[in-house]
Structure 1
């Protein structure tokens, strides 16, 4: 049995993954999703990673799945836990010594021009579900203070030696397909996998995402 460590994005929470967790467990796997310590102004990137590692324990094969801003945390978890695989889901890809704050300009990410939060992130998520998740995450966001983590240089000197996949979501309006294809090529030198879905694909297509994650499990 494989354990999937599911890492949420900035402004998100472990609750974002609840449908994927259920789908992965239905497929015979274990999951762990934790709220990152975003309310602690003293918490740095390694503190975020260690919160995930501690929650995962020592279960055996571990696949780290990182969404959006969680791309700055996922490789640290993979390095610390000696993960079997790392999957980035429409995620930021850090470079050594780059801060999350600097990532936007350094990668040439352009703003979407979409002001409506729902239309930008969740446009294909059922409305009742999307509003429920937004309400939950906004309550946590009111206590959020990520100053140290946001302005801290990414601490690894190179990408961890772990099999890495990237999932591009073709309907993402925040990290658009055109941007992601270039970003993945420049930072990882690989071609991303693709599926339909918005930035919050774990809510709009949880079963399909679970199938993808199971399919990319490393052999053995």
Structure 2
């Protein structure tokens, strides 16, 4: 397939992260000829992060595949209504229906272990030092400490207030990677959302960060999506 016919890839990261969390897959996709941009989400509000994705879409050719991890799935569910978007890939992510908040989704199943290891300071939510293994416990100790040290902290009310009125998965094809050892989002919730969206679903035997602990599986899913749109 000629490079010019390939869709572009735009990433949206989750909470406690930044765009570099996709570093293990971005360089491979670039080498394969894809245009790739990773949005740097502010984590301040859903609108702000949708705007960041929209700016990223303006930097690549259309059509594009949006790839969202964790909270980034919530973001691409709203941002994916953009006409430049051809498909959605969810990585251990939140895929809301209209009117649902992240908190509404999380409450559908048993609370994931990470939520007992969060600190709220100055109105921000942080992963506690003893909680990083519940976020990315299948990475090396060095990698885990790097993730902890570079985390971004969202406002404490973000999970209770963010909502979208028009979920893009109702009009765009979607793919979903369920992380079977996820301690940040209940894997059964991921399966529920994937089934509700009618997503093509792949299960990864990983923590919450399959793009770091099993990048080849994530790459295969993105390639499949890119070839299907």
> What range describes the TM-score normalised by the shorter chain of this pair?
0.7 to 0.9
Within 2, Cα distance between the matches of 1:155 and 1:171?
Answer: 31
| Structure number having the greater strand percentage | 2
CA contact (8 A) 1:181 1:191 kept: no
Q: How does 1:27-42 map to 2 (within 5 A)?
A: 27-38=32-43, 40=44
4+ residue runs over 6 A deviation? none
Taking structure 2 as the reference length, what is the TM-score of the superposition?
A: 0.79
Whether 1:67 aligns to 2:37 is: no
Taking structure 1 as the reference length, what is the TM-score of the superposition?
A: 0.82
Q: How does 1:1-220 map to 2 (within 5 A)?
A: 1-38=6-43, 40=44, 44-57=45-58, 58-105=60-107, 107-112=108-113, 115=117, 116-137=130-151, 140-141=152-153, 144-145=154-155, 147=157, 150-156=160-166, 159-185=169-195, 187-190=196-199, 192-219=201-228
1:30/1:146 CA distance change after superposition, 3 Å: farther
Uncovered stretches (5+) of structure 2, i.e. residues with no partner: 1-5, 118-129
Uncovered stretches (5+) of structure 1, i.e. residues with no partner: none
1:52/1:87 CA distance change after superposition, 3 Å: same
How many residue pairs get matched? Answer: 210
CA positional deviation for 1:189: 4.1
Within 1, Cα distance between the matches of 2:167 and 2:14?
Answer: 23
